[in-house]
């Protein structure tokens, strides 16, 4: 049963532990969903397009993401993630089967991995000349 006014509720921020950085914009997190319920999920960064590992710049993008994680984890090793389910845009619908998210520094929630990577020059939208993703996580 839906309560009146709940269809447009804002997404929730979840505490999460980084398990693996696959590439510059794809990570595996152990997500605390509350009440001792945890899920391990692959996350793709919302509004960030990094080259794949097999493409020029792919290893640098991964290094840039890993450096941010090392600098911004809290004292317990947690980050904040705010998720949305992929599928709103046609290219995401057919390319990705994982959650899209913004990753936050829990000590300073105004600091995000997404905006950091954008500030380093990784675009918010897929470049027109980017190869289509055929693999990945």
User: pLDDT at residue 66 above 50?
Assistant: yes
CB 14 within 8 A of CB 83: yes
pLDDT in tens, 72-84: 988 899 999 998 8
Token pair listed for 72: 């911004």
pLDDT (mean) for 21-38: 94
Q: What is the pTM of this model?
A: 0.79
User: Which one has a higher pLDDT value, 130 or 104?
Assistant: 104
Query: Could you give the CA distance from residue 24 to residue 16 in angstroms, rounded to a whole number?
Result: 18
- Condensed to tens digits (0 to 9), the pLDDT of residues 74-129 reads 889 999 999 886 655 544 433 456 788 999 999 998 999 999 999 999 999 877 76
Q: Residue 6 pLDDT > 90, yes or no?
A: no
Bridge partners (DSSP) of residue 38 are 32
- Average pLDDT of the chain to the nearest whole number: 82
Alpha carbon distances (Å) from 98 to 60, 83, 101: 23, 10, 10
Strand positions, DSSP E, 1-137: 13-23, 26-34, 37-45, 78-85, 99-105, 108-112
For residue 127, what pLDDT is reported? 75
Q: Spell out the domains of the chain, with CATH numbers in brackets.
A: 13-119 (2.40.50.90)
What is the reported pLDDT for 87?
58
Confirm if 28 and 42 have CB atoms less than 8 A apart. Answer: yes
CA 103 to chain centre: 6
- Residue 36 gets the label, from left (phi > 0), alpha (psi -120 to 50) or beta, of left
Rounded to an integer, what distance in angstroms lies between the CA atom of residue 50 and that of residue 93?
18
């Amino acid at each position: 049963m839906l309560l009146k006014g709940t269809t447009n509720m804002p997404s929730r921020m979840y505490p999460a532990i980084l398990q693996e950085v696959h590439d510059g914009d794809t990570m595996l997190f152990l997500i605390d969903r509350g009440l001792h319920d945890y899920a391990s999920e692959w996350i793709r960064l919302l509004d960030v397009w990094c080259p794949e590992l097999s493409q020029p710049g792919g290893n640098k993008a991964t290094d840039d993401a890993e450096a941010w994680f090392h600098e911004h984890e809290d004292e317990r090793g947690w980050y904040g993630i705010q998720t949305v389910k992929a599928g709103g845009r046609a290219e995401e619908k057919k390319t990705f089967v994982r959650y899209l998210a913004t990753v936050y520094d829990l000590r300073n929630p105004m600091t995000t991995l997404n905006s950091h990577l954008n500030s380093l020059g990784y675009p918010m939208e897929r470049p027109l000349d980017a190869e289509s993703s055929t693999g990945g996580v």
